[in-house]
Amino acid sequence: MTTDAETYRALRETVVGIARDHGDEMERVAPATPEWRARDLLAHVGGVCDDVVNQNLEGLASDAWTAAQVDKRRGWAVEDILGDWERNADALDALIDQTPPGTFGQLLFDTWTHEQDLRGGLSMPGGRDSDAAATSFDWAMLRFNERDTGAQRPALAITTEAGTQTVGLGDPVVELSVSRYELLRAMTGRRSVAQLRGYEWRGEADPERLVLAPFFNPPAQDLHE
């Protein structure tokens, strides 16, 4: 069984490899994040590693915390961004190994999400069936159910290639069939409301419910990857 540290290591190596293979394309804007270039995605994921290792956790996951990571590295060469991430990586791998499985689920989810953003910007799909994708899905579904149960929303049954899971309370009144990849991209605001409405719903469609948190904003235009 792959550990979270092994999953993060493989994910990091994949992202770093893509960036080094496409170093002359790192100024391209990632369509899923219109304010960020590919190099800014790298600055963020590398910056998260740096901040966690060095206990710079004030404002964790806030817009200001994230923006500071990108701003700090704005003038750096791409190779310097990657090298900084790699230098901090061993310490973070060890920290992940010292904690119960799932503790760093949000880190894996966020890094995998930005791997897909990077791939989208470079028109090179992949990584959709990786250990990181599976771990991200498991973590996101737990958060999805916690949110909907806490808000006492009626149950929604979601069927993906990973099976059927129910979020919310009671017996399902609405059912949704969608791929795991599409659902993950929907959860992070990488699909338009029109795209979400176009999924296979049985019962009244509720596209906004699929967006995991209010700071994720679906694009006005459809995003195809």
Q: Is the pLDDT of residue 46 over 90?
A: yes
- Which CATH number applies to 131-210? 3.30.1050
Q: Rg for the chain (alpha carbons), in Å?
A: 18
What are the sequence ranges of the domains in the chain? Answer: 4-122, 131-210
Give residue 192's Cα distance to chain centre: 17
Q: What is the pLDDT of residue 1?
A: 81
Q: What is the pTM of this model?
A: 0.97
CB atoms within 10 A of CB 153: 17
Each residue's pLDDT tens digit, 110-148 = 999 999 999 999 999 999 999 999 999 999 999 999 999
Rounded mean pLDDT, 34-40: 92
What is the model's pLDDT at position 70?
A: 97
Which residues, 6+ apart, have CB-to-CB distance to 180 below 8 Å?
Answer: 128, 133, 137, 160, 161, 162
pLDDT for 142? 98
Distance of alpha carbon 26 from alpha carbon 19, whole angstroms: 7
Instruction: Pull the structure tokens for residue 32.
Output: 């899923």
3-state secondary structure of 62: coil
> Which stretch of DSSP H or E encloses residue 157?
strand 154-160
Cα distances (angstroms) measured from residue 116 to each of 57, 88, 129, 205, 217: 25, 22, 12, 26, 17
Burial class (CB in 10 A: 0-12, 13-18, 19+), 206: middle
Q: Are 189 and 208 in contact (CB under 8 A)?
A: no
From the number of C-beta atoms within 10 Å of its C-beta (0-12, 13-18, 19+), residue 192 rates as: middle
Per-residue pLDDT reduced to its tens digit, 73-88: 999 999 999 999 999 9
